[in-house]
Amino acid sequence: MTYAPTRWRFRQPSVIPGFGPALGFTIAYLSLIVLIPLSGIALRAAALGWSGFWALATDERTLKALEISFGASLIAAIVNVVFGTLVAWVLVRYRFPGRRLIDAAVDLPFALPTAVAGIALAAIYAPNGWVGSLLAPLGIKVAFTPLGIIVALIFVGLPFVVRTVQPVMEEIDRDVEEAAATLGATRLQTVRRVILPGLMPAILTGFALSFARAVGEYGSVIFIAGNIPYVSEIAPLLIVIRLEEFNYAGATAIAAIMLVISFFMLFAINLVQTWSRRRYGYGA
């Protein structure tokens, strides 16, 4: 029995069997479902040639649509992080009548057809709608403006934050908070220095999911956005418009840009997550 123990091996000896088949299946499955369709976009974009692609990509309407899409998604994800965490906190920490109902309602944005959500939101936030009519005297217009896009994206992204943060929050030991209190920490200090850092990895995951969902969202936005080019037109809508114009090259270019930006943003978030996991003591 003489091994060279330091030699790197692709496969570490393991007591859990099935590494080979599992990896094979994973790669095949991911290829079929994700990689091959996406590489289709990349290939088509490549076929445009660099200058062709650049011309389409730097088209002002495209740039504006991308800016709106990613900007609104970012804002929506940030809002969701704050309020989603708060909602999770209330659901985990307090017992009140109707808690289960609210808990169930959080999932509605998952289940509802997004078009229905969009129509409902548009109706409520329109200048003559319930909420819209209250905001109108204050000079705030939501429906048919970029603000409307943000509202719709907040709506669809909320459950992602709540559902990722909630279980981790439930795991927090009462002991740890009590320890902080006996050491003299105020409630605020305990939340800021003890509870939130522990939730950070989960919050980041929630942020990433909510953001990713918002970037790809189409159905609910188009009903409330007003879809005015250069103002409230999102990139996914512009892709559809280009397709309807039979401008496949234009559609492909926008899609490719979205793909690249999304990939790098999610990759960056993933790195931050890994770092924070280690930082906050989850890694081994």
Partner 1 sequence: MDVSIRNVRKEFDRFPALHNVSLDIHSGELIALLGPSGSGKTTLLRLIAGLETPTDGSIYFGPEDASLKSVQERNVGFVFQHYALFRHMTVAENIGFGLKVRKGNDRPPNEQIRKRALELLDLVQLSGLENRYPNQLSGGQRQRVALARAMAIEPRVLLLDEPFGALDAQVRRELRRWLREIHDTTGHTTVFVTHDQEEALELADRVVVMSQGRIEQVGTADDAYDRPNSPFVYGFIGDSSTLPVRVENGEIWLADRTVGLQVNDVPDGNASLYFRPHDITLLDGCGGCIAGTVATSRRVAGTRRVELEVGGSQHRVEIELPIEHVAAERSRIAFRPTRWKVFPDAQDSTA
Residues that bind partner 1 (CB under 8 A): 173, 175-176, 178-186, 189, 193-194, 197-198, 200, 279-282, 284
What distances in angstroms separate CA 46 from CA 31, 39, 252, one per listed residue? 20, 10, 10
By beta-carbon proximity to partner 1, the closer residue of 146 and 201 is 201
By beta-carbon proximity to partner 1, the closer residue of 60 and 173 is 173
By beta-carbon proximity to partner 1, the closer residue of 135 and 194 is 194
By beta-carbon proximity to partner 1, the closer residue of 139 and 184 is 184
Q: How far apart are CA 274 and CA 193, in angstroms?
A: 20
Minimum separation from the CB atom of position 253 to partner 1 (A):
44
Q: How far apart are CA 70 and CA 172, in angstroms?
A: 33
- Nearest partner of 270 among 205, 199, 225, judged by Cα: 205
Minimum separation from the CB atom of position 178 to partner 1 (A):
6
Minimum separation from the CB atom of position 184 to partner 1 (A):
5
Minimum separation from the CB atom of position 99 to partner 1 (A):
19
- Nearest partner of 215 among 270, 274, 260, 271, judged by Cα: 260
Q: Which residue pairs from 138-144 have beta carbons closer than 8 angstroms and sit at least 24 positions apart in sequence?
A: 142/224, 143/224, 143/226, 144/224, 144/225, 144/226, 144/228, 144/232
Q: Which residue is associated with the tokens 């548009």?
A: 122
By beta-carbon proximity to partner 1, the closer residue of 85 and 232 is 85
Q: DSSP 3-state assignment of 9?
A: coil
Minimum separation from the CB atom of position 231 to partner 1 (A):
43
Q: How far apart are CA 211 and CA 193, in angstroms?
A: 26
Our separate counts of H helices and E strands in the chain read: 15, 0
Minimum separation from the CB atom of position 202 to partner 1 (A):
12
Q: DSSP 3-state assignment of 51?
A: helix
By beta-carbon proximity to partner 1, the closer residue of 42 and 194 is 194
